Amino acid sequence: MGTPVAAAAAVAVDGGDLALGGGLLALLRPALDRLEPGGVLAVLSSTRSVLDDLASWCRVERHEYLGTEEIAAGRQRHLIRRGSLGVPRGERERGGTLVAHDGRITASDLIASVPFPATADPATGFAPRGARVEPGGPAYPFTLDRADRVAPPEVAALYDQAIGAQWDASRDIPWQDVKPLPPGLDAAVGQIMTFLAENELSALYVPSRFIARIHPAYVETAMFLATQLNDEARHIDVFLKRARLGGEQSGPGVSSAVTAHSLHSLLVLEDFTEVAFLLSVLGEGTFLDLLRFIERHAPDAATAEIARRARIDETRHVHFGIDHVKHALATHPTLYARLEDAVRRRAATLSGAGSVPAPVIDALTVLAAGGLEPSKISAGHEAVQELMAEMHASRLKRLTHAGFTAAQAEMISSLHTPNFM
């Protein structure tokens, strides 16, 4: 200590009369952090105790204290060589700073600034993309760690849309419009709402199993799924409220074994892309037609509004599912066979499950009929037959859009669960 040193300092901090334990470290540590290992920092100080404290601190922190010299009466210039431990400098991230456009900053803007990596490093854990990561942390067990399997190109835009489209289940539905309905129709609405709610429960639970597997480098996908879960929670909320509104025959209906088997077969899936395909592309896709049907035949404005709002949300989920599958198929052509296989396996599990659950098909028929009079029921029956045909046609369109051939699409759609979801 006390030896004047010849080393040239790249950077200097002026510590004034701060003691080491009295604030000097807050200037010193960031300045050292900005240097490469081996870089030299000059510390100017007019506090005598810094002479004693700095060398010891350097020893404990594995920096090299090079010495000091008096540069004016009572003012010292200490030199420190940065040690090799600490957080590596790394490359500065691309993109630089964010700029608001028309007062808005979107998730897409952020991704343009800090792009998704092709593969994610288990050691970066919960560190935000672009952060410098100190070595020595644990390896995280995130298994969804490849951009092509977890981060489709439109996820940020869909997230922004979802955030802007949130609505309030207690205020945004004209609940006051619900009046007691003709006998039978109340029970039909209760049955349909029960069916919708249980399917949406599965749509809440199934994706939630995958959020914790997504590497945080692809956090926008986890964030999008969080909006999807919030959507499903809201749908469950409005469906159950609607089921219990109305006359004497209102209230939840039957939960059928066909539905239970079908939803169970989704819950046990372990592959994220299979879930996106079976739940979102095929299941939620089919539900778009169902919700449109309910909206068209709704007995009151509240029921129509519930179906309309739920359909708009579900459209986003289907869009994400198609984007995900399309993106994954483009980079992994063998996935076609795997997804086809997943549909076959599920169909085999559900073989013997029969057709659309009877309470559901009956309730849809009564809803479309608008009452129990035989003359109306006939029209209702016809409307439900048309719905089935529409569902099949829409599935074919979505499958072709996702990249399947017409023959593959035909086979997959015909094997789809009789439960719709």
Partner 1 sequence: MTSGMRITIGAVAYDPKVVTIWEGIRDHFAGAGLLTEFALYSSYERQVEALLAGHVDIAWNTPLAHVRVRRRTDGTSRSLGMRDTDRDVRSKIIVRRDAGITSLGELAGRRLAVGSRDSTQARILPLYFLGQAGIEVGRIQLVPFDTDVGKHGDTGTSELDVVQAVHEGRAEAGAIGDVVWASLQAAGRVQSELVEVIWTSPPFDHCMFDALGWLPRATAEAFERALFSMSWDDPRHRKLLELEGLKEWVAPRESGYESLRAALDEQGAW
62 lies in the binding site for partner 1 (CB under 8 A)? yes
Shortest Å distance, C-beta 4 to partner 1: 19
132 lies in the binding site for partner 1 (CB under 8 A)? no
Question: Residues 16, 30, 36, 56: which binds partner 1 (CB under 8 A)?
Answer: 56
Beta bridge partners of 230: none
Question: Residues 25, 127, 204, 229: which binds partner 1 (CB under 8 A)?
Answer: 25
135-174 footprint of partner 1 as x/- string (CB under 8 A):
xxxxx-----------------------------------
* Region of 145 on the Ramachandran plot (φ > 0 left; ψ -120 to 50 alpha; else beta): alpha
H or E element in which residue 41 lies = strand 40-45
How far apart are alpha carbons 19 and 48 in whole angstroms?
A: 9
Question: Residues 2, 4, 16, 21: which binds partner 1 (CB under 8 A)?
Answer: 21
52 lies in the binding site for partner 1 (CB under 8 A)? yes
Shortest Å distance, C-beta 209 to partner 1: 27
State the virtual CA torsion across 404, 408, 411, 413 in degrees, nearest 10: 10
Stretch that binds partner 1, among 46-54, 97-105, 199-207, 287-295 (CB under 8 A): 46-54
Strands (E) in 248-294, as ranges, are none
How far apart are alpha carbons 264 and 332 in whole angstroms?
A: 28
Distances (CA, A) of 369 to 54, 313, 384: 86, 27, 10
387 with 289: CB under 8 angstroms? Answer: yes
Burial of 118 (0-12, 13-18, 19+ CB in 10 A): exposed
Stretch that binds partner 1, among 16-24, 72-80, 199-207, 366-374 (CB under 8 A): 16-24
How far apart are alpha carbons 257 and 259 in whole angstroms?
A: 5
Residue (57 or 175) nearer to partner 1, CB: 57
How far apart are alpha carbons 413 and 421 in whole angstroms?
A: 12
59 lies in the binding site for partner 1 (CB under 8 A)? yes
Residue (4 or 137) nearer to partner 1, CB: 137
Shortest Å distance, C-beta 113 to partner 1: 29
87 lies in the binding site for partner 1 (CB under 8 A)? no
| Strand pairing category for 11-14 and 40-45 | parallel
Stretch that binds partner 1, among 3-11, 38-46, 48-56, 239-247 (CB under 8 A): 48-56
19 lies in the binding site for partner 1 (CB under 8 A)? yes
> What separation, in Å, do the N-terminal and C-terminal C-alpha atoms of the chain show?
76
73 lies in the binding site for partner 1 (CB under 8 A)? no
Question: Residues 6, 8, 60, 99: which binds partner 1 (CB under 8 A)?
Answer: 60
Q: Which two tokens stand for residue 351?
A: 């073989």
Stretch that binds partner 1, among 15-23, 94-102, 175-183, 364-372 (CB under 8 A): 15-23
Q: What single-letter amino acid sits at 397?
A: K
159 with 107: CB under 8 angstroms? Answer: yes
Residue (59 or 397) nearer to partner 1, CB: 59
Shortest Å distance, C-beta 121 to partner 1: 13
Number of residues that bind partner 1 (CB under 8 A): 24
Q: What single-letter amino acid sits at 27?
A: L
- Positions touching partner 1 (CB under 8 A) are 1, 19-22, 25, 48-49, 52-53, 55-57, 59-62, 85, 123, 135-139
